[in-house]
Each structure stands twice: as C-alpha cells, then as structure tokens.
C-alpha cells in the first residue's frame, strides 16, 4: 500500500493475547528491498509501545522516507512469552 510518512498501524488480536509491547521498525532511506537482504542494520526503530489490550492501533511517524520500504513489527504477547513478527512491503509518497 501507499502511505504517508505518518500512518496508523492496526493489530487485530482475536485471541486477546494483548501485548507487553510493540516495536515498529522501518527500513532506512536508500535501502532497496528488491535487491538487498533485510537485516537489523537496515532498520530504524520508529515507534515502541508499552502494554496494550487486544486490537491495538498505533500512530507511526517515519519521516524522510520515499519509495519502497519495509515495515517490520515485533509484537511481544502478554502471555506465555510469545513473540510474533510481521513484515510489510509499503510505498511512501
């Protein structure tokens, strides 16, 4: 999808796990997801939340980005020490 540099990320949690935290990363400007492998060095942490109930919406700001990027989300569930990871292809601009 095409996004502005300020967007909302919604995580729907039908099992009501809740979250200890969400960490939302966006690739650095200049990273090319079509020719480069994604690594931690290519990501900027742009938003981190505290504990949340299920069905979470987070406002995210990723200034200075244009073109094709990856949004990488870490969801640390509130029970059983489960972590979930999401990777989304997006276009800014």
pLDDT tens sequence across 4-33: 999 999 988 888 888 899 999 999 999 999
DSSP assigned state of 52: B
Tokens representing 13?
């949690």
The model's pTM is 0.91
Render pLDDT for 63-76 as a digit per residue (tens, 0 to 9).
Answer: 999 999 999 999 99
Please state, in angstroms and as integers, the Cα–Cα distance from residue 72 to each residue in 25, 42, 84, 85, following that order. 5, 11, 11, 7
| DSSP annotation string for the chain | -EE-SEEEEEE--TT---EEEEEEEEEPTT--TTTS---GGGEEEEEE---B-SSEEEEEE-TT--EEEEEEEEEEESSTT-EEEEEEEEEE-
pLDDT attached to residue 42: 98
* Both tokens assigned to 5: 């540099």
């Amino acid at each position: 999808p095409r996004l502005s540099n300020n967007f909302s990320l919604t995580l729907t949690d039908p099992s009501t796990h809740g979250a200890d935290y969400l960490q939302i990363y966006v690739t650095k400007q200049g990273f090319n997801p079509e020719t480069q492998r994604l690594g931690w060095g290519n990501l900027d942490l742009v938003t981190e939340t505290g504990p949340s109930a299920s069905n979470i919406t987070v406002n995210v700001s990723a200034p200075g980005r244009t073109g094709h990027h990856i949004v990488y989300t870490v969801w640390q569930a509130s029970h059983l020490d489960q972590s979930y990871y999401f990777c989304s292809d997006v276009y800014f601009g």
